[in-house]
Structure 1
Amino acid sequence: MPNNTVNDYKEAVRIKFEKEKNGPFSNYFNPASQANLRDLCWKILTSEPSSDDLNVYYDFFKSKFDPAAEDISITYTDKFKKVGDFLKRKSEPAKIDTINLAAILVNFELRPYQKFFKYADKENFTYDNGFSKSDTKQDSQNIDEEVKQEQKNENGQILTDTAKTTNSSDVKPKSLVNLPKTLKYIGFTTVSTFCLIAVYFMFFYKPCMQWSGDHFEKVSCDLEVNGIGNFNVVEPFDKTIFDLKKINVCDTTSCFDKNGQAVVWYAKTANGIDFFNGHGRHPETNSPLRPVTRYILNKYVKK
């Protein structure tokens, strides 16, 4: 069977992602946050991009790529969330554009999908990520063996789909006789598994979070930290600060409520000043955040 369907394309890109997590760009995939994927996309496309890759970028963002204008806005960055969710198997994208952009980020050779569709069904072709037709055939053989093992009866005999010929036409195949018992076992196992998963998430699962450029993201508490600095620390999930975000402030930004109270907070850094949508501490420098004042706005915000 040809292995060039959209589902094959998705799986091949995801397998390549798992390989690239230990490759030269591993720092962008651990974690594969919106900000990290955004930075990797800009890095790749500013280095002699192909016309296909530039077309994929235009189809995804509805605008041409400009190597002289690096966009790090929240709106632009958030568009990479569905790319990361696809690679991490959290969602199935509705558009092929998302998969094509992910293929660029993991350097999947047969991209975009049109090229994959044309060449992936060659008999001797093996993806550079280890996913091949021979693998698929071996998986199918393994599944067949598992099915035969499950169909053994109490005497260790393998049941078949057809019964031996007898004088009575009323005799049913043994596989059909044991089918209700098999279905009950499968149903009980499935329900038990779901119950155990529900109990785990209700009472034992405790997520963690990590600062990613301009916001916090939920991550596994076992995530291995790559990098140096307080901002890269994986810490227990804290609902009170999880929604803290770094924001861009200009002369038209509403920084005070109707009573004159500040709704924007700030902290000075070695490079200038950072503004946030709430109070607390700066996730990267651990400096306390202070309510913005008109003096600060006049001094640091350009007209």
Structure 2
Amino acid sequence: SFLFCKMGIIITTTSQGCKHAFVDVSLSDLSIGLILLALSLMVLCTCLILIVKVLNSGLKGQVAAVIKKTINTDFPFPFAWLAGYLAILVGAGITFLVQSSSVFTSAITPLVGIGVISLERAYPLTLGSNIGTTTTAILAALASPGNTLQSSLQIALCHFFFNISGVLLWYPIPFTRLPIRLARGLGNITANYRWFAIFYLIFCFLLTPLAVFGLSLAGWPVLVGVGAPILLVLLVVLVMRVLQARCPQVLPKKLQTWDFLPLWMHSLQPWDGLVSLLTGSCCQLRRCHCSRCWEQDEDQEKLKKIPMKVLE
């Protein structure tokens, strides 16, 4: 709490100093806004990196073992299923105390990264955090004047029940806990191709919303005409991917794998070589074609050929 309080004071002081610093500068509001946006993102990233460093250095040894055992422990049979719902209540309660789901999720993310909290336990904690953050809107609605209390409370309750519906949709049935599998899959891809995380953020949170917004401005017929074929292709790919993983025998032999497509359409390796070439940092990325990385790949192949008993 003291750390976040000090960070808030520093950021507030910095913002006030920046505001006074731009008083006598002949810059437009847009330019000043972009400068402050860049500075705030820099401060935010620096704080997150420092939080990860502090947690990584402080939560080691017996401390990490105790926290890991406490948070990831399940109830004995037949009440093991209650542990996830208790984690939802804990996430909601802590978020209610700090009044910020961003602070809570930013705190548990590095704990997941260093292995203190499992991904299966971080998922209900995050869902609970989404519920706890609705209390801010409810408290603000209750503090509204009498003539706007009803409308404000309706909006706040819509926010609350929307998040409750998300929990009921994506958690009670184990099969529907797709975000866990998606997070693990995206994490494995990012571990091999570091640039994929940046591409994912830009594509999902910038390019796709801009494309949908632009098509919607052109009219619903254009949006449906362009979006429907894309959704159909994605649905076909998803169905084929499930069939290839679960029951490939129902598919023709050629469709049991994606090898019938060009390599750049079903593998990130060609794109990784392109990104490595453009950034000039091939040795920092995986699957490049320099002699050093070829030697590392050859060493890994040699280790795979050694029997497990010999390694033990």
Q: How high is the TM-score relative to the length of structure 2?
A: 0.24
Name the one with the larger strand percent. Answer: 1
Q: How high is the TM-score relative to the length of structure 1?
A: 0.24
Name the one with the larger helix percent. Answer: 2
> Highest relative contact order (Cα 8 Å, sep 6+), 1 or 2?
1
Structure showing greater radius of gyration is 1
